[in-house]
Amino acid sequence: MFALRSRSGRIGEGLDRFVLPRWLRRPVRLLRRLGTGDFVPPRYAATTATALLFAATGIYGSWLGGRVPDIAQAVTARTGFAVDQVRVIGHHETSEIDVLERLELSGWTSLVGFDVDAARDRVAQLPWVEVASVRKIYPEMLEVRIQEREPFAIWQHAGELSIIGRNGNVIVPFSGGRHASLPLVVGDGAAGRAAEFVERVMQHPTLAAKVKGYVLVGGRRWNLKLSSGVTVKLPEFGADEAMAALEQMDEKHQLLNRDVAVVDLRLSDRVVVKMTAEAVKDRQEAFAKALKARKVAAEKQI
């Protein structure tokens, strides 16, 4: 039932009476000639068959051992697809050397078999890198694009200094350099709350221009450390109103330019000012001189 009818429409009992599919006719004729001795193998057929057998065995062994990707890498690298150039874009804080190390390139890394997804994940693990992409540019270039994290402040905690982002995540340890101008944030839990509070202080530009550090006290309220050395103690509630009042007092009386160590704004109905130790000493000396002068004047009158 699987045979095809001959052109005469009859189905014979022997193989000669069947009409085979076109793709089977040549192999069947070759087998017939081998069986009757009419076929003469071409010269070097045995050598070629042996070589093909060895090649097939090698390929199969490489496949079983998981070496096919390595072989493909080696072959394509030596036929003009070896990575010869790497272009890194968008890095300012990240060293180009660190990026190259994460790419894990050798002298014969093939661009064809290079895993850009794995390389991107390795580059993205660098401290400053927020987003990374790796792209192949044939025949011999890799392009790495980096979007870095933006430094926001220096966080002092547990005796350590770290550069943090706006979201409060630690980027890298602070080591000086151009990041020294970043605002200083001090205290446990201050990193995650710094961005919101600094923005509130920036609403008072005259005061904000003098602030050097922000200290979270007890996880409840903030102190401002001014560049002049003055400490401003803000209340837990109503800090914005207290800062506005301080700006007005400073504008009228130049309070923050005097020999003041602490301005305490925690009480809503009063401002407590603490003088510096030098100012207290000078004041005591001046008071003693004035008292002595009065005493001398009183003796002269007698």
Same-domain pairing of 164 and 142: no
Cis, bond preceding 139 (omega within 30 deg of 0): yes
Q: Among 208, 246, 202, which Cα is nearest to 227's? A: 208
In a domain, 10, yes or no: no
In a domain, 216, yes or no: yes
Residue 68 has pLDDT above 60, yes or no: no
CA distance 185 to 168: 10
In a domain, 299, yes or no: no
In a domain, 261, yes or no: yes
Residue 186 has pLDDT above 90, yes or no: yes
Q: Are 153 and 146 in contact (CB under 8 A)?
A: no
In a domain, 242, yes or no: yes
More confident call, 171 vs 61: 171
CA distances, 227 to each of 52, 231, 253 (Å): 82, 9, 19
If you average pLDDT over every residue of the chain, what do you get?
A: 80
CA distance 195 to 153: 9
Range of the domain at 140: 80-148
In a domain, 14, yes or no: no
CATH number assigned to the domain comprising residue 89: 3.10.20.310
Mean pLDDT, range 96-104, rounded to an integer: 94
In a domain, 290, yes or no: no
CA distance 50 to 41: 14
Residue 232 has pLDDT above 90, yes or no: yes
Mean pLDDT, range 269-296, rounded to an integer: 67
In a domain, 288, yes or no: no
Same-domain pairing of 158 and 85: no
Look at the chain and report how many structural domains it folds into. Answer: 3
More confident call, 27 vs 282: 27
Residue 116 — pLDDT band, cuts 50, 70, 90? very high
Residue 29 — pLDDT band, cuts 50, 70, 90? confident
Give the pTM: 0.66
CA distance 257 to 229: 10
Neighbouring-strand partners of residue 262: 231, 274
% of the chain beyond a pLDDT of 70: 69
Model pLDDT for residues 198-221, shown as the tens digit of each residue: 999 999 999 999 999 999 999 999
Residue 56 has pLDDT above 80, yes or no: no
Q: Which letter does DSSP use for residue 110 in this model?
A: B
